[in-house]
Amino acid sequence: MKSKENLSIKILYFHNSKVIINKIEVIKGIKIIDIIDLFPNDVVAKFKKKKLNFGVFGKLVDNNYKIKNGDRVELYETALIDPKDFRILKAKKSS
């Protein structure tokens, strides 16, 4: 049962090439950057706070964003290659 001091949220992230969606409860007033500490150790080791961006319902938010009840928090890793460059390379390979 949810208390008045806990918020129910969803967290969406990629792990081992799969999209993972978890429903969790967090303490009211928690900042989005502190969400990373709630992940399993193998996931935390993969993520580096400096290289992560955060979003809520598909919109980028600042690391100091305070979580609201019902938020869908998304973790974005830095792309290894620019999407435009990837499409160019892919087009060259197929021609």
- Sign, CA dihedral 80-46-52-76, equals positive
- What's the pLDDT band for 46 if we cut at 50, 70, 90? low
Query: In order of start, what are the domains of the chain with their CATH numbers?
Result: 6-94 (3.10.20.90)
- Predicted confidence at residue 44, as pLDDT, reads 64
pLDDT 10s digits, 47-80: 655 577 899 999 999 989 999 999 999 988 777 7
Residue 37 pLDDT exceeds 70: yes
Residue 42 pLDDT exceeds 60: yes
Task: Let me know: does 50 contact 33? Beta carbons within 8 Å.
Answer: no
